A and B are shown apart, each in its own frame.
Chain A
Amino acid sequence: MRILGTMLLFFIVFPLVFVRRNSLFQITIMYITMIVAIFLVFIYAPTEKVQGIVQKIFYFHVSSAVTMSFAFFVVFIASIMYLWKNSDWWDAVALSAAEIGVVFCTLVLITGPIWARPIWGTWWSWDPTLTLSLVLWLIYVAYLMLRIDAHDSKRARFAAILGIVGFVDVPLILWSVEKWRTLHPKPVLIQEGGTTGLTSAMLLTFMVCLGAFLLLFFYLLRERISVLQSRHALEVLRHEIDEILAG
């Protein structure tokens, strides 16, 4: 439990250091963590007895799902801050996190059925967890479609409200995994009574994969915000040029 606590603390604190460093440092750390994660998944982690080798999809599937939930949580917070402060920076954070969240949600929706086919015998089942995950994806795709014209402040406000309301689906998915008896397995990471259903080697592998995905999220978030800021700076400069030429 102490190791788990230390690792969780590391994963919470480290990204804060990470986002302040330059891009080359980020890429190097992310690359090393990803390589270690891959090594742990394919070499170190034991093969599960019932599901066999295909269970190894768990490490990246669940890491993608956690990263997706975190990304939509960032959208939720940034949207509240945007509506409160009316700051373009918070709007850029919300829009960037929503796009990255959709990327990870897409990965969850693709890797889930690939894992389900050999285990359940079907690619897809309209059970609550899977359906709610698809609804979540649709909500944030709608958010991105609303933001195609990023300069319209009315749309930005409406999208912020959608970003806040849409987040309600995330706890619903977690609740459905825990409470509904469906094809989707119950959580193995943290079970009732605070125990874990994973062996220590599996838990370590999962934590490293999750760390790698969270680092990737922070890197992508920074890059995406940078794109939006550059676009804004370009517009300001073009306006200045127009004024100079007109004057």
Chain B
Amino acid sequence: MQVKNFWYLFAAYSTIWTALCVYMIRLSQKNKALQAELRDLRAQIERVLAK
């Protein structure tokens, strides 16, 4: 009974960890990509204005 129920416990905690990790990584990647795009655009504007 205890061993069988262990798998329910394992499933619950694995789901929580996996979901939170995927969400955090996705958010962080999106943030980094947007920051990089912002830097590129700012540099582009500076180049255009310098000309």
Chain A residues at the B interface, C-beta cutoff of 8 Å: 52-54, 56-57, 60-61, 64, 103, 106-107, 110-111, 114-115, 117-118, 216, 220, 223-224, 226-227, 230-231, 233-234, 237-238, 240-241, 244-245
Q: A103-B23, A223-B27, A223-B31 are in contact. Are A241 and B41 (CB under 8 A)?
A: yes
Interface string of B14-35 (1 = CB under 8 A from A): 0110011001100110110011
| B5 with A118: CB separation less than 8 A | yes
Q: A103-B23, A111-B16, A223-B28 are in contact. Are A57 and B45 (CB under 8 A)?
A: no
| B9 with A56: CB separation less than 8 A | yes
The 6 closest A-B pairs by CB, nearest first: A230-B34, A54-B5, A114-B12, A237-B41, A111-B12, A57-B12
Chain A residues whose CB sits within 8 angstroms of the CB of B30 once the complex forms: 227
Chain B residues whose CB sits within 8 angstroms of the CB of A223 once the complex forms: 24, 27-28, 31
Chain B residues at the A interface, C-beta cutoff of 8 Å: 1-2, 4-6, 8-9, 11-13, 15-16, 19-20, 23-24, 27-28, 30-31, 34-35, 37-38, 41-42, 44-45, 48-49
CB distance from B26 to the nearest CB of A (A): 10
Provide the bound-state CA to CA distance between A245 and B27, in Å: 33
| B9 with A54: CB separation less than 8 A | yes
| B16 with A220: CB separation less than 8 A | no
| B38 with A230: CB separation less than 8 A | yes
A-B contact pairs, 28 of them (CB 8 A): A53-B2, A53-B6, A53-B9, A54-B5, A57-B8, A57-B13, A60-B12, A60-B13, A103-B20, A106-B19, A107-B15, A110-B15, A110-B19, A114-B15, A118-B4, A216-B20, A220-B24, A223-B27, A226-B31, A227-B30, A230-B35, A231-B34, A233-B38, A234-B41, A237-B45, A238-B41, A241-B45, A244-B45
B9, B15, B24, most chain A CB atoms within 10 A: B9
| B31 with A118: CB separation less than 8 A | no
Chain A residues whose CB sits within 8 angstroms of the CB of B42 once the complex forms: 237
Chain B residues whose CB sits within 8 angstroms of the CB of A227 once the complex forms: 27, 30-31, 34
In this complex, what residue of A is CB-closest to B23? Answer: A103
Provide the bound-state CA to CA distance between A115 and B11, in Å: 10
A114, A117, A118, A227, most chain B CB atoms within 10 A: A114
| A57 with B41: CB separation less than 8 A | no
Provide the bound-state CA to CA distance between A231 and B42, in Å: 14
Q: A107-B15, A118-B4, A220-B24 are in contact. Are A234 and B38 (CB under 8 A)?
A: yes
| B49 with A61: CB separation less than 8 A | no
Chain A residues whose CB sits within 8 angstroms of the CB of B19 once the complex forms: 103, 106-107, 110
| B48 with A244: CB separation less than 8 A | yes
Provide the bound-state CA to CA distance between A211 and B1, in Å: 32
Chain B residues whose CB sits within 8 angstroms of the CB of A115 once the complex forms: 8, 12
